[in-house]
């Protein structure tokens, strides 16, 4: 948990100066968190909490945070990303988009040695 608090704090510090200097630009964020996987893989414990924490940090520095996408299928994630991209494009050339994806973060050795098993 401490690691995520530090990460959110770092994101806030990095984005804070731009929030002060560029209030005119539109800032839009999409947060995706997947915790549910097949029984053999198991569920993750923090992705949904992590996207909530990151969302709060982004709101604090002036981002419009879209409804988080949680435990989505590939098709649902692609729809959310396309909608997000459309909103960023519609916001104009000075718009800033931020996409945060939190899910299983590593690939097992079996998957690396035999890509067809994915």
Tell me, what DSSP letter sits at residue 61?
A: T
pLDDT in tens, 99-118: 988 876 544 444 444 445 44
pLDDT in tens, 22-81: 556 899 999 988 876 666 655 556 777 788 888 999 999 999 999 988 888 889 989 999
Which CATH number fits the domain that encloses residue 95? 3.40.50
* Contact present, 11 and 59 (Cβ < 8 Å): no
Report whether pLDDT(87) > 90. Answer: yes
The number of domains in the chain is: 1
Per-residue model confidence (pLDDT) at position 74: 86
């Amino acid at each position: 948990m401490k690691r995520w608090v530090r990460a959110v704090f770092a994101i806030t510090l990095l984005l804070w100066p731009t929030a002060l200097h560029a209030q005119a630009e539109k800032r839009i964020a999409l947060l995706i968190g997947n915790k549910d996987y097949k029984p053999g893989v198991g569920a993750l414990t923090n992705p949904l909490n992590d996207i909530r924490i990151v969302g709060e940090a982004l709101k604090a520095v002036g981002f419009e945070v879209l409804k988080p996408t949680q435990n989505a299928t590939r098709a649902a994630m692609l729809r959310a990303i396309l909608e997000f991209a459309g909103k960023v494009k519609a916001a104009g050339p000075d718009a800033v988009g931020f996409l945060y994806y939190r899910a299983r973060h590593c690939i097992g050795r079996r998957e690396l040695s035999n890509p067809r098993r994915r």
